[in-house]
Amino acid sequence: MSGLLKADFYRLFRSKFFYILGGVVLLLSLAVFALFVLIVEFGGEIGGAMTAGALQRLSFDGTVGYCAAIAAAVFVCSDFSGGGIRDKVARGCGRGKVFFSLWIALSFAVLVYYLLTQFVVFALGGAAFGWEGVRAAETISLFVAGVGISLANAAIFCALSVLLKKISSALLVGILLLFGITMLQGVLAVAEIYIGKEAFSVFCDVFAYLTPAGQPALLASGGNGWIAAAASCGWLLLVGLGVPPLFARQDLK
């Protein structure tokens, strides 16, 4: 297993996409920070209420999920197309170990993308806006929820890429899945306004909490970080138990 991890991390660190996506995430986070600065400067009473805690919530914009989908498609599927996975299995490496090694390396990459957003929140946002009135427990819960969402996205898109094998297929399905869930969540939010029933509101929240693609919008609007983190753990368990048996029966040609 250690040899597989060394090979996958070596391949990750030599991959251009790892650094390109990291740069994109950092630039988008800095853009959100700059927008906050403008709101504080010209927003009057609204600007005066801005804190680093508000910036932390708005950092859940779904960017990390899209980066996870792209990274998984490129990183995992390129190992299929290049014959790397087939060679590893032929050398006697178990398919389960091959999958978990890819998953761990991809999870590291996605966590780096998430931590870049939090660097902007804590280093720049904290210095510019301060943490007055922000509860430490809430800040910690949101940070942990972000870690959970990142790991869940890495798990889901790693599984999709392993099962689909082709970069184009994995990328298309991953992006459409994220976009579709986001659109559905928007439709449910509009329907919630017109229906106005508490049971439907609960259904909308449950749907958002259960999907890593839906959690960012919910957290940005005041959702509970611990519930989101618990739901993410469920996805990790589902992928860890369900995908290796499927991968074991897959044709590697």
Task: Answer yes or no: is 253 within a domain.
Answer: no
Mean pLDDT on 112-140: 79
Contact (Cβ atoms closer than 8 angstroms) between residue 17 and residue 70: yes
Structural domain containing residue 15: 2-248
Name the region of 44 (left: φ>0; alpha: ψ -120 to 50; beta: rest): left
- Residue 44 confidence (pLDDT): 56
Q: 178-191 pLDDT, tens per residue?
A: 888 888 877 777 76
Spatial distance between the Cα atoms of 160 and 170, rounded to a whole number of angstroms? 6
Domain count, the chain: 1
Task: Answer yes or no: is 215 within a domain.
Answer: yes
Q: 208-235 pLDDT, tens per residue?
A: 888 888 888 878 777 888 988 899 999 9
- Per the listing, tokens 């890495």 go with 154
Distance of CA 233 to the CA centre of its chain: 13
- Per the listing, tokens 């430490």 go with 136
Task: Answer yes or no: is 195 within a domain.
Answer: yes
Confidence of residue 115 (pLDDT cuts 50, 70, 90): very high
Average pLDDT in the chain: 82
Candidates 152, 139, 150, 166; CA nearest to 77 is 166
